Structure 1
Amino acid sequence: MDISFQTSAGDGSWSLEECARWAQENDFDCIRLADNGVLNSDRILETGPDEVNTILASHSLYLACISSHCNLLDDDADIRQAEQTRLIKAIKSSSLLECPVVITGSGAPVKNGRFYGTYSSMPGNPDDRSDELIERFRQMFSPVVEVAEEMKVKIALDVAVRMGNIGCNPEMWEKILDAVPSDYLGLSCDPSHWLWMMIMPAEDVIRDYAGKWYYADVKDCEVSPRMLYRQGIIGNWWWQYRVPGRGQLNWGTVIGALLESGYDYVLCVENEDRGMPGLAGITYGCRHLRQFLPAKGTDYQAPTHYWETSGR
Structure 2
Amino acid sequence: MQVILAQPRGFCAGVTRAIDIVDRALAIHGAPVHVFHEIVHNQWVVDDLRTRGAVFVDALDDVPANAVVVFSAHGVSRQVVAHAKARGLHAIDATCPLVSKVHQQAQRFVRQGRTLLMIGHAGHEEVVGTVGQVDAPVHLVSHTADVDTLDLPGDAPVAYVTQTTLSLDDTREIIAALHARFPGIVGPEVDGICYATQNRQVAVRALAARVDLVLVVGARNSSNSNRLREVAERSGVPARLVQDEHEIDPAWLRGAPRVGVTSGASTPELLVQRVVAALAALHPDPLTPVVQLPGVREEVSFRLPAELALP
Greater RCO (Cα-Cα under 8 Å, separation 6 or more): 2
- How high is the TM-score relative to the length of structure 1? 0.31
Which structure: larger Rg? Answer: 2
